[in-house]
Structure 1
Amino acid sequence: MNKKTQPTGKKGKSWRAKLNAWLHLWLGLASGIVVFIVSITGCLFTFQKEISEWVHHDILFVQPQQTATLPVSTLLDNAQRALGPDKKVNYITTFRDKDRAWEFMTYMKGDEKAITYFGGVKYYEAVFLNPYTGEVVGYHDFKYDFFAIVKMIHWSLLLNGTIGEQIVGWSVLIFVVLLITGLILWWPKKWTKATREQSFKIKWKASFKRVNYDLHNVLGFYAMAVALVLALTGLVWSFKWFQTTVYVVASGSITPPAHKNGVSDTTLVNTPQKGLDIAFESVRKNMPDAKRIGFSAPDTGKAAVVYMSAYWGNEVYYDRDDFQFDKYNGKMLARVTGKDRNAGEKMILMNYDIHVGAIGGIIGKIIAFIVSLICASLPVTGFIVWWGKGKKKEKKKVANVKVEPAAAV
């Protein structure tokens, strides 16, 4: 037959398309289990605040009163006695809402060589006090708290040290590549009514195989944008180089702005130390609309300062003013507001709030929950697609085997 009249047949896939499909398949299989674990734990953690406040309502809330709260130093002493002398209070969280108990946290690292999170944390506890009476209304061991464990599985697969963090980090980075290669695979060659139906709708009445494919293909597309944001914000914690890149891109500078670091007046060492109470009341008076005020317990160092942060929102951490006070006389030594931070600093501070969806309020958290659930389903549906193709090839191979006739007797 003349070459000109020979049928050409269908044009095969380009090497780029084959490479993209190969990467999507094998990177997905390599990272699937970790992506599933990280996604499902992220999904579980989304509403930890709401669930914890419901489950532990009796220790997190008190009967509101019209009287003034006790001096924070008095409450700190009460909390320290409740925890014992060997467990120093590290951090205090107070609330503007009159019905909230105030939290006094103590934390200490454990064995650095421990394999798991449980060995890497010596203790992680808190007592909750009625701010009007000074009474201890509850105690909670956060080391074994359900959401603390979920968070550490999400963070490092419950492993101590950097190994688990690196496994999670590289798996999330692979997931970013999978989102991009998945979009390329999803993109129709021609935009027709049939391809739009296939790309944007799940055909629920079809076979299990087709429904599973649609769940992977269609849901993956709808979740991609938010999933990419969740993954990239996760990488900020996993890799220092990525955090630096985000800062540089957002700020347009490689040098962070210099913020003042104060020191306490060491000539006042032997004077009565009322600085903590003065500092706390100063922040409450000047920022009456702050939802929370959090601060570290004063360090024992002579020149150490009191660090305080006033948060404008109920849950977000980026929207805050940071303070430094002299721990002896309560004099303000430094203050950093939102206006003092450049775009890079703001972006890094927003990272947690974006990652958990809290920056968008309850709607943002619902979106983060749904997208995390979809992300957890993608390795499962993707594996089923791959497994089904393998079975199909195996059946085809068996069908093509020639059956030899039986020998005559």
Structure 2
Amino acid sequence: MRLRVHTLLFWPHLVAGLLAGLIIGVMSFTGLALAFEHPILERADRETQQVAPPSPGTPRLPVDELIARVRAARPEAQPSAVTEYPDPTRAVTVSTGRTGGVYVNPYTGEVWDWGASGWRAFFHLMEDWHRWLGAQGDNRPVGKAITGASNALFFFLAVTGLYLWWPRKWTWRTLRPSIWFRRGLKGKARDWNWHNVTGFWLLPVLIVLTATGMVISYKGVSDLVFRLAGETPPTAGGPPPGPPIHVPVPPPGSAPLPLEALFVQARKQLPAWENITLRLSGGGAPRGNAPQAGPRPGGNEGKAEARKEGLAPSTFAIRETGGWPLFAATQVFVDPYTAQVLRKDAFADLPAGNRTRRWLRFLHTGEALGLTGQFVAALGCLGGLFLVWTGFCLSWRRFFPAKPGLVSSGDASTSE
């Protein structure tokens, strides 16, 4: 019976590997390249972000003035988010789109471009290939469909591979060739040993990477996360809407407060803040979206009711030093006319489905567990490359076996 099931699973396993192997190889390579993107960029750009230590008592320029300096220095740029840090020697970051931005000296208003341009271009290219196979514009949905299907096949390969790996007898003699690398092997025996050992040790990582990848790729799988938590899935991408936030209608003729006044209020919410980000609309006015400069902690919560009146709260994402989870941020909704805090949502305040969905997002990259998690994710991607290579080699040897007399002595010890 087991032999029949083994044969029944072996051929779909082999065919799935041949169909998706090249794409899995591309995704594994680019995933490996992207594993340490943020630590590398932060280290490479560290000096570029620094400003000269100010003299004691030197005041910081208001946030509104910093944004005005950016517009004057880069008329073609459209500020989309602003992030500040408590370190007095670190520049303020102003994002100007999905991948662009500038630094601003908070004391002088000097504006300069982000550094590490070579690294940024490299990671941007790797992300394009990892998500869309390098496709651009209208072709991106096609590329996304191919990578999503290949990721699903990789998940299938991981699950079926476990059954195919399972030894008939649990003895050290039969188990050792499948769980540890052996020296002196050549040809098919070497490929079989490498394929099985890599799959055995990295199977949990590969299942996590592929399963979380399916959550990201397919809305139906993402919706399942919310349904299992007893929640209604969002109608579009991102987390579902939360309770409405009522922004009081200001007196006629009232104007929004300066952004600096809103930042003053936001800074008071978490004394041990690590950075504070405010997403901006096209005109620089506050906008009630989660910021892009960091992980999105709360999505579009509470905007619908405010928009009925044409008003939306200013939404700050505040990262706290030593906070947990590492990717979490607290969202603070502020009345743009009075600077009153309308609501404060910590990560623990989010619904269970929302929290789970965010964990899955950052488990996929390993960032949920910091550098250790990123290293494990990188190891999984490296293992994916090994599995693709050895899988192709084993398939080639199966369909195009070596002529009698050319088979190495190591091949004779290989089981089917």
**TM-score normalised to the size of structure 1?**
0.82
Q: Distance in 1 between matches of 2:365 and 2:30?
A: 11
2:67 to 76, 80, 91: 76
Please tell me the root mean square deviation across aligned C-alpha atoms, in Å. Answer: 2.8
Q: Tell me the residue number matched to 2:214.
A: 235
Distance in 1 (CA, whole Å) between partners of 2:208 and 2:406 is 45
Structure 1 pair 196–397 and aligned structure 2 pair: CA distance change class (3 A): closer
- The residue type paired with residue 259 of structure 1 is P
Q: Deviations over 1:218-269 (max 9, x none)?
A: 11111110111111222222111111112222x2333667323344645365
Q: Helix, strand or coil for the counterpart of 1:260? A: coil
Matched, 1:289 2:272: yes
Task: Give the drift of 1:213.
Answer: 1.9
- Residue 330 of structure 1 corresponds to 339
The total of aligned residue pairs comes to 369
> Which structure 2 residues correspond to residues 392-403 of structure 1 after superposition, within 5 A?
392=401, 395=403
User: What do residues 26-69 of structure 1 show as CA deviations (whole Å, max 9, x unaligned)?
Assistant: 00000011111111111111111222223333322333445443
Aligned counterpart, 1:125: 100
Report the counterpart of residue 149 of structure 1 in structure 2.
125
1:383/1:314 CA distance change after superposition, 3 Å: farther
Work out which of the residue numbers 237, 244, 268 in structure 2 matches 1:260.
Answer: 244
C-alpha distance in 2 between matches for 1:93 and 1:336: 19
**Percent identical:** 27
| Aligned counterparts, 1:60-75, within 5 A | 60-65=49-54, 67-75=58-66
Kindly report which structure 2 residues correspond to 1:10-409, keeping only aligned pairs within 5 A, or say none. 14-65=3-54, 67-84=58-75, 86-107=76-97, 124-139=99-114, 145-160=121-136, 161-249=140-228, 251-254=229-232, 258-263=242-247, 265-267=249-251, 270-271=254-255, 273-298=256-281, 303-312=311-320, 318-392=327-401, 395=403
Contact 2:95–2:102 (CA<8 Å) still a contact in 1?
Answer: yes
Structure with the greater relative contact order (CA < 8 A, sep ≥ 6): 1 or 2? 2
- Judging changes above 3 Å, is the alpha-carbon distance between structure 1 residues 143 and 188 closer, same or farther for their aligned structure 2 residues? closer
Q: Which amino acid counterpart does residue 9 of structure 2 have in structure 1?
A: N
The one-letter code sitting in structure 2 at the alignment partner of 1:147 is F
Offset at residue 287 of structure 1 (A): 1.0
Contact 2:79 2:282 in 1 (8 A): no
For residues 293 and 367 of structure 1, the distance between their equivalents in structure 2, rounded to whole angstroms, comes to 29
Q: Describe the SS at the equivalent of 1:159.
A: coil
Runs of 5+ unmatched residues, structure 1: 1-11, 109-123, 400-409
Cα distance, 1:317–1:364 mapped onto 2, change above 3 Å: closer
Name the CA distance, whole Å, in 2 between partners of 1:208 and 1:396.
Answer: 14
Q: Which structure would you say has the larger Rg?
A: 1
- With over 3 angstroms needed to count, the CA separation of the structure-2 counterparts of 1:106 and 1:343, relative to structure 1, is same
Describe the shift of the 1:362–1:164 C-alpha distance in structure 2 as closer, same or farther (beyond 3 A). Answer: same
Deviation readout 1:121-167 (Å, 9 max, x if unpaired): xxx42111122322113346799722122112111112233211111
**Contact in 1 for aligned 2:23/2:147 (Cα 8 Å):** yes
Deviates more, 1:274-283 or 1:299-308: 299-308
SS at match of 1:222: helix
Alignment partners' CA distance in 2, 1:288 and 1:158: 43
Cα pair 1:220 1:378 within 8 Å, conserved: yes
Normalising by the residue count of structure 2, what TM-score does the alignment of the two structures yield?
0.80
